Structure 1
Amino acid sequence: MSIDLTRRRFLIGSGIAATGILTGCDALVQSPSVNAVLEKGEWLSMNAQRLLLGNQQLAREYSEADLSPVFKANGTQMPETDVYKQLVDSNFANWRLQVGGMVKTAKSFSMADLKAMPSRTQITRHDCVEGWSAIGKWTGVPLGLVLEQVGLAPGARYAVFYCADDYEQSLDGSGLYYESIDLVDAWHPQTILSYGMNGKDLEIAHGAPLRLRVERQIGYKHAKYLMRIELVDSFKNIGSGKGGFWEDRGYEWYAGI
């Protein structure tokens, strides 16, 4: 997701918005008391959505006639890390998806491994927090099938996705993009690790070789350039403890639509 990092942080909490409160003010966002209220509103929003729609309710799917003629390539369009450049030079032949953390058996998957697993194709609408939308056709392996391959250890609650995208081009790696979802969304049938878009392999600008599609959430949750998935019981010690690159900068962790 392309957002000028000099912009003020904002947090749109559905539960708070319902009361008419909407703020992008840094002073308020940095206030512990306001943050506590916003976080409660976020969790209320998530629980309300799941109560009303159910954990397995599908996001709307469309027909090929509805495909957008142009699907904006938002955010980073070519990661500049040395590791990613080497992968591009080898046409991703040496790329592996590492899956570990709180699992019974840590594994790595080549693209051939992932493509050999049952796939899912879905035509869905991508909604960006910046206000634009586009409809695309995504093909990939359901995340749940990959998690079944490694098995979950007791206590695992979240899947954290680490990317090759050094969004802030930081020297210490703190700008690497990451995201997380809970296991409810991880096992949702439309949550896939996508390697194809509109009938072709993913292009670099759209997240090659692999990106997350979590169709019931807003675009910044759909992490591109996936390198590693870690199963954890908490993300409080990852980054700034908010569960994602943009969440560490003031966005909601649960961005349901």
Structure 2
Amino acid sequence: MTKLLTRRTILGGAALGAGGLLSGCDALNRSPAFQNLLATAETGNFHVQRALGDRMELASEYTIADLSPTFRANGTRNPDTQNYNASAANGFSDWQLRLFGLVNKPQSFSFAALQSMPQRTQITRHDCVEGWSAIGQWTGVPLKLLLDLAQLRDTANFLIFHCADSLGGRPYYESTDLLDAFHPQTIIAHRLNGELLPIENGAPLRLRVERQLGYKHAKYLTGIEAVASLDGIGEGKGGYWEDVANYEWYAGI
């Protein structure tokens, strides 16, 4: 009976992620028993997807003709803080992206420096947990290049993406494991459809981790922190929406 229940829990992970997690304020989602069920289902979903998929399989890429007429903005449209507004007024010339934590060589990259590095351009589909999709062309620096410069320590297992925006008084953040971090389509994007990122889409820098759902693509990036564990960061679930609404940490597509 225990084995059957465990198997049914794992196979139910996708359905729970799509439905139950969106209603994070109801009594069911506040139930400790239900939270344990979600955690078990997510773990199963993570391992099933990892087992079935090629570690470096690419997300589908499209052509210019496939671009959506507009690329919808979601979440924060503008951090609207004094520091952010001042930087935006200067074309983000003073913006810095720090790479720190469990690295041998901490780095700080200016916006100009990131634009001068080797770039990758890809046309991909953005899938939102709310049910909409859009196709956009993204240009940015492969995250692998930055990690190679910083030289991750052997104890690093995850990356935390720190952002300039906040929701409900909580700083926005996201995380990924190193497998997705080194994926060739994971980039720090600064252009959308050939133009500098609009503010509503995450200017000046946003994460594109193309084999994950949209809420994993953190905007307004200020820092990337290499850590051994997600414990002690936020509520330890790996991201803003994971903390406040029990979204799945592993949002693979």
User: In 2, Cα distance between the equivalents of 1:29 and 1:221?
Assistant: 21
1:19 Cα deviation (Å)? 7.6
1:55 Cα deviation (Å)? 1.2
2:60 corresponds to 1:65 = no
- Indicate conservation of the 8 Å contact 2:139/2:192, yes or no: yes
Corresponding residue for residue 6 of structure 2: none
CA deviation digits over 1:31-72, x for unaligned, max 9? 333222211211211221122111101111111110001111
2:91 corresponds to 1:91 = yes
| Fraction of identical pairs, as percent | 53
Q: How many residues are treated as equivalent by the alignment? A: 240
- What pairs with 1:35-184 in structure 2 (closer than 5 Å)? 35-168=35-168, 170=169, 175-184=170-179
The residue identity in structure 1 corresponding to 2:250 is Y
- What pairs with 1:24-39 in structure 2 (closer than 5 Å)? 24=23, 26-39=26-39
Counterpart selection for 2:206 from 211, 214, 217 = 211
Corresponding residue for residue 186 of structure 1: 181
Corresponding residue for residue 251 of structure 1: 247
1:243 Cα deviation (Å)? 0.6
What secondary structure sits across from 1:42 in the alignment? Answer: helix
1:132 Cα deviation (Å)? 0.6
- Unaligned 5+ residue runs, structure 1? 1-12
1:153 Cα deviation (Å)? 1.2
User: In 1, Cα distance between the equivalents of 2:10 and 2:181?
Assistant: 22
Distance 1:18 1:209, change over 3 A: closer
The residue identity in structure 2 corresponding to 1:38 is L
User: In 1, Cα distance between the equivalents of 2:190 and 2:216?
Assistant: 17
- Unaligned 5+ residue runs, structure 2? 1-8
Taking structure 2 as the reference length, the TM-score comes to: 0.90
1:18 Cα deviation (Å)? 5.9
Task: State the superposition RMSD in angstroms.
Answer: 1.8
Task: Compare 29-38 and 219-228 and name the one that shifted more.
Answer: 29-38
What secondary structure sits across from 2:12 in the alignment? Answer: helix
CA deviation digits over 1:178-199, x for unaligned, max 9? 0000000000111100011101
CA deviation digits over 1:136-184, x for unaligned, max 9? 000001111100010111210101001011222x2xxxx1110000000
1:255 Cα deviation (Å)? 0.8
What secondary structure sits across from 1:122 in the alignment? Answer: strand
2:239 corresponds to 1:239 = no
The residue identity in structure 1 corresponding to 2:140 is G
Identify the structure with the greater helix proportion. 2
User: In 1, Cα distance between the equivalents of 2:159 and 2:16?
Assistant: 33
User: In 2, Cα distance between the equivalents of 1:159 and 1:127?
Assistant: 22
User: In 2, Cα distance between the equivalents of 1:107 and 1:207?
Assistant: 21
- Indicate conservation of the 8 Å contact 1:99/1:229, yes or no: yes
- Indicate conservation of the 8 Å contact 1:80/1:166, yes or no: no
User: In 2, Cα distance between the equivalents of 1:148 and 1:92?
Assistant: 25
